[in-house]
Structure 1
Amino acid sequence: MGSRAPAITMRNDSFSDGDSVRGEPLSEKTETENASEIGCLSVIVLGASGDLAKKKTFPALFNLFKQGFLQQNEVHIFGYARTKLSDDDLRNRIRGYLKSGNGDSSATSEVVTKFLMMIKYVSGSYDDESGFVHLDKEISEHEISRKSNQGSSRRLFYLALPPSVYPPVCKMIRHFCMNRADQGGWTRIVVEKPFGKDLASSEQLSSQLGQLFEEPQIYRIDHYLGKELVQNLLVLRFANRLFMPLWNRDNISNIQIVFREDFGTEGRGGYFDEYGIIRDIIQNHLLQILCLVAMEKPVSLKPEHIRDEKVKVLRAVTPIEDDDVVLGQYEGYKDDPTVSKNSNTPTFATVILRLHNERWEGVPFILKAGKALNSRKAEIRVQFKDVPGDIFKSKKQGRNEFVIRLQPSEAMYMKLTVKRPGLEMSTILSELDLSYGQRYQEVVIPEAYERLILDTIRGDQQHFVRRDELKAAWEIFTPLLHRIDDGEIKPIPYKVGSRGPDEADNLLKKAGYVQTHGYIWIPPTL
């Protein structure tokens, strides 16, 4: 049986209206001892009728259930939203997004049916107490029905909602839906990005949530931190002697972290125009990857030690200069009726970040993201310096590169110069290739949301964003974002299906990146 939460002082502070709050233990286990905790688990998906919930959250919960991580007799899932639905209405909405994986139709599979019967729906407003009182009643009835297990009671609230409603929703949870003090266990909150639009709004949101919950109770989710190859970065860097002496300014010329999509805003024009590509992708996803690529070895694998090192990286980033930025906007973007005809919002950006520390001084980190480009991929590209005194310089096609392909076709490969097969002494660029689809054919790579929800249940915050980390990230980008919002930096038009503005390639060249012409990495077929 898992240990019960220690008896400690209850927090009974108030929010802006002075309402009283039901007390509960604030001591949160920050390590993974909760993984084996026995007892009732209630997962509450707020915004259950929305796209994020039906496309990502519920399928992730289903896959965890299918793999045995969520036991049917111990777990119940609650959907909460304003839409008037019955339990069966919600189940039918999400049924088509669940894949049984056993060859059966997803609509008739026995495992899908069992999972759907774990789901109950509650309708209510996000700022009215009656809905949350009703929600608490439903959760409590589930917990009481499972009390014979004599385990702790755990409540996980997943906010699949716009950030604008986080404060009122969290206030309602805090006042009316917290886990009771005499039950042991915990209450945890998962919030989705974007966490604000700049430093001031982010700090305001953090402050509002901080008045209601302790930091160990808040899980700020960035799904890129749950991707297989991103999670592999720590192992790759710190478990292999091969990389340790190479991973510094003496050997590395530049590092690119790239996100490319071959489609535009696709009906999300109104939302996207409010944020733009830097807020949507670069300030969070790509910056998180940069931290893992650039960080020093942590003292241990404990979540706080890892997150301490990530914060050090962010604090070493120097202010972004306008000369290190190229913005783009694809032609036809403003044809979307939900987008302003005078929009200055970038759909493409290349930003060079520089770190002022011993390991990375002088090495440009190139963050590049765009929509409506000529390909879809996300990757990390580490380009090494030229070989000193290279006797094959006149015969070579390009530099050594180590590439980590995050999506699609997860892989790691090293570009090497080798002798071209044949009688002549000539060279060719080839690769040492670890393609996951070929090497691990029997392994199903889990979706990012599966990992992160499981980490939340286990109490492991390693792959979630801490408050000081979030603040440091916004401090880097807020000045640039304000200059863009004020129209001081204009995006350059580029054609749909292109590489983006030509000026972006010129910026890469200026940063020292040497493009290899004629070499194409082709993922191996199974």
Structure 2
Amino acid sequence: MMNGALGAMVVESDPYMPHPEECSADSTLSVVVVGASGDLARKKIFPALFALFYEGMLVENFQIFGYARSKMDDEAFRDTIVETLTCRIDAGEDCGKKMDTFLSRCFYQQGQYDDATDFQRLDARLSVMEGSLCSNRMFYLSIPPKVFISAAANAADQCASRTGWNRCVVEKPFGHDSASSLELSQALGKHLQEDQIYRIDHYLGKELIENLTVLRFSNLIFEPLWSRKYIRNVQVIFSEDYGTEGRGGYFDEYGIIRDVIQNHLLQIVALFAMEPPVSLEAEDIRNEKVKVLRSMKPVEMEDVILGQYTKRVSKAHTYPGYLDDDTVPQNSITPTFAAVAMFINNARWDGVPFLLKAGKALNKRGAEIRVQFRHVPGHLYRSKFGADPDAATNELVIRIQPDEAMYLKINSKVPGLGLRIENSRLDLPFHEERDRELPDAYERLLLDVVNGDKRLFIRSDELEAAWDLFTPVLHKIEELQAQPELYPYGSRGPVGAHYLGAKYNVRWGDLSYSGNGSSKS
């Protein structure tokens, strides 16, 4: 009899069946990408799996199955994914041979997400491939939320390994608000145990995000500074220099707050602001993140600025506005930009504004954390910086993308006669210092799933706490039909974002200072 939970299925007539999670070293790995014909699977998941194989990170006995509704055979499937595969330049192995070997391990099974019989056929093919080896299975649900439950249920009831572990990766969005998120979690919980669910937020796999805990907890100089005593404000900024352009149908259902701020940026805040965990074990780190989220005030309407980009015409090109996208409903008021002020009500961060900003069709692409420190009390060199005190602000910048880097802005004397002070950078550019390409976020996160490491994945109570912070204001925005402030494609965004910063005596750090002695950041 099978109880319907992945990896927890037992056959009563066979008391000697190996307990799940107890595979010996002689085992096989099966990765099933559900939604294999979609863009995410082709552009991110399969290239990440190939990179892991190319670097020797996968077990010797593995196979990869694509599962989707599209009609394809194995060869056609391989043809669709081979175009996106690339080799690591530093691995020193024949790229063509490695690619051929990888593709020979890739197979395709056509089927519906809500059809148990189709999943039984998939299970039969997997069993043939795995043979008598203890089998571990990973299911990656790269599909819309409306079919999550049926796909997860069929994977659990029809397609789970009886001898090894079973893990299910779920892509965001994890619901639309607190109620829908809870409903989704409860539905998944009927088929999956919590330790088998890997809610993936690819931003947590970025090199510089994982470096956050290393920066704080292995460098003595930072931990004493990491509090309201020395930090004036923290900014988490995400910007894209392109709009929806044909993909607005999906985006319009969610908007920029649900798409970026409530998950990516809030997760960064939780990692940044958490207390030192008792260990680096996944549950200890996630416990501290939950404490941060539960200490935060729910977002107020007056602490939110909304924007939507409009058409811009230049001599060389016409940049379409959000409403010019044919996939976007006419007269949509869905925000493509938002700035939010948040606060953490605990002893370490009381009174420190955390400003989060995200937008599409802005003047540049990037993502960064900016930590602005307090002004020097009784600053002896105040006169050297003119009337702008922010020009002398020490600032720690963690650039997540592009060109990953960390640097600290300090004040120093310009060499030569006289006394001139400039804002200089102590810089750690990751690409220049290292002669190898940094792994993609999906590579790191998929390897973590294989290894059972859940540090960078979101727990159900963590997800609940995150939604509790944003659900009231999201409902208020919808109730009031709040009109977004318009901003032209390629600009720095709505003017209202500057007023929000000024309300808390904050100047956005991604804008260059123009005061004396300052430098571009």
- Check whether TM > 0.5: yes
TM-superposition CA deviations, 1:183-232 (whole Å, max 9, x none) = 2x211100100001100110000000001111000000000111000000
Alignment partner of 1:43 is 2:31: yes
Distance, in Å, in 2 between the alignment partners of 1:488 and 1:63 is 45
Q: CA deviation at 1:322?
A: 1.8
Amino acid at match of 1:52: L
Contact 2:409 2:423 in 1 (8 A): yes
Q: Could you report, residue by residue, the CA deviation over 1:421-455 in whole angstroms, capped at 9, with x for unpaired residues?
A: 22111111111000001111x22210000011110
Secondary structure of the corresponding residue to residue 480 of structure 2: coil
Q: Does 1:260 align with 2:239?
A: yes
Tell me, yes or no, if the aligned pair for 1:48 and 1:79 is still in contact at 8 Å: yes
Tell me how far apart the structure 1 counterparts of residues 130 and 477 of structure 2 sit (CA, whole Å): 51
Alignment length (residue pairs): 493
Indicate yes or no: 2:349 matched with 1:360.
Answer: yes
Q: 1:60-86 deviations in whole A, cap 9, x for unaligned?
A: 000000000124x40011110000001
Structure 1 pair 200–26 and aligned structure 2 pair: CA distance change class (3 A): farther
**Alignment RMSD:** 2.3
CA 1:258–1:27 in 2, change beyond 3 Å: closer, same or farther?
A: farther
**What is the aligned counterpart of 2:103 among 116, 129, 132?**
116
When residues 204 and 156 of structure 1 are mapped into structure 2, their CA distance, relative to the original with a 3 A threshold, is: same
Percent of paired sites with the same residue: 52
CA-to-aligned-CA distance 1:302-337 (integer Å, 9 cap, x gap): 100000000000001112122211110001211112
| Structure 2, unpaired ranges of 5+ | 12-16, 311-320, 386-390
User: TM-score, normalised to structure 1's length?
Assistant: 0.90
Does 2:283 correspond to 1:304? yes
- Equivalent residue, structure 1, for 2:73: 86
- SS, match of residue 43 in structure 1: strand
Give the 3 Å change call, closer, same or farther, for CA 28–421 of structure 1 in structure 2.
farther
Q: Flag the 1:259–1:295 CA change in 2: closer, same or farther, 3 A.
A: same
Aligned 8 A contact 1:344 1:484 in 2: no
Distance 1:37 1:510, change over 3 A: farther
Give the direction of change, closer, same or farther, for the CA distance of 1:26–1:153 in structure 2 (3 Å limit).
closer
What's 2:153 paired with?
Answer: 171
Question: What is the aligned partner in structure 2 of residue 517 from structure 1?
Answer: 513
CA shift for structure 1 position 395: 1.1
Secondary structure of 2:224's counterpart equals: coil
Shift of 1:101: 3.7
Query: Measured at CA, do residues 365 and 37 of structure 1 come closer, stay the same or move farther in structure 2, by a change above 3 Å?
Result: farther
Report the CA distance shift for 1:520/1:61 in structure 2 as closer, same or farther (over 3 A).
farther
Q: Secondary structure at the match of 2:198?
A: strand
Unpaired runs of 5+ residues, structure 1, are 1-9, 16-20
C-alpha contact 2:246 2:326 (8 A) present in aligned 1: no
SS of residue in 1 equivalent to 2:174: coil
Tell whether the 8 Å contact from 2:87 to 2:95 is kept in structure 1 after alignment. Answer: no
C-alpha deviation, 1:107, in angstroms: 12
- What residue number does 1:387 align with? 376
Q: Distance in 1 between matches of 2:4 and 2:498?
A: 54
Aligned mates of 1:107, 1:164 — CA distance in 2: 42
Which amino acid counterpart does residue 395 of structure 2 have in structure 1? E
CA pair 244-459 structure 1, distance change in 2 beyond 3 A? same
Contact 1:52 1:160 in 2 (8 A): yes
| Aligned counterpart for 1:469 among listed residues 449, 462, 468 | 462
Are residues 239 and 107 of structure 1, via their aligned partners in 2, closer, same or farther at CA, if it must alter by over 3 Å?
closer
The residue that corresponds to 2:317 in the other structure is none
Q: 1:26 to 1:170 in 2, by over 3 A?
A: farther
Q: 1:248 aligns with which of 206, 227, 243?
A: 227
Q: Residues 239 and 22 (structure 1 numbering): CA distance in 2 closer, same or farther, change over 3 Å? A: closer
Matches within 5 A, 1:149-298: 152-180=134-162, 183=163, 185-298=164-277
**For residues 103 and 206 of structure 1, do their structure 2 counterparts lie closer, same or farther at Cα, with a shift above 3 Å needed?**
closer
Partner residue, 2:418:
424
User: What's the CA shift for 1:27?
Assistant: 7.8
Instruction: Report the counterpart of residue 316 of structure 2 in structure 1.
Output: none
Q: Determine the C-alpha separation between the residues in 1 that align with 2:403 and 2:18.
A: 43
- Secondary structure of 2:225's aligned partner: coil
Deviation (angstroms), 1:22: 5.1
- Could you tell me which residue of structure 1 aligns to residue 358 of structure 2? 369
Change (3 A) 1:342 1:27: farther
Cα distance in 1 for residues equivalent to 2:422 and 2:171:
46
CA contact (8 A) 1:26 1:214 kept: no
CA distance in structure 1 between the aligned counterparts of 2:241 and 2:254, rounded to whole angstroms = 19
Deviations 1:100-139 (A, max 9, x none): 24599x9982211111110010001111112101100000
The answer to whether residue 60 in structure 2 is matched with residue 64 in structure 1 is: no
Q: In the alignment, which of 427, 446, 458 is matched to residue 433 of structure 1?
A: 427
Please tell me whether residue 12 in structure 1 is matched to residue 7 in structure 2: no
2:328 equivalent in structure 1:
339
Tell me the secondary structure at the aligned position of residue 109 of structure 1.
helix
Match of 2:62 among 75, 92, 95: 75
Distance in 2, matches of 1:112 and 1:22, equals: 36
TM-score w.r.t. the length of structure 2 is 0.91
Out of 121, 129, 138, the residue aligned to residue 125 of structure 2 is 138
In structure 1, the residue matched to 2:315 is: none
Q: Deviations over 1:488-510 (max 9, x none)?
A: 43210001111101110121122
Instruction: Give 1:420 shift.
Output: 1.6
Check whether the contact 2:232–2:373 (CA below 8 A) recurs between aligned residues.
yes
Are the equivalent residues in 1 in contact too, given 2:51–2:88 (CA < 8 A)? no
User: Shift in Å at residue 294 of structure 1?
Assistant: 0.4
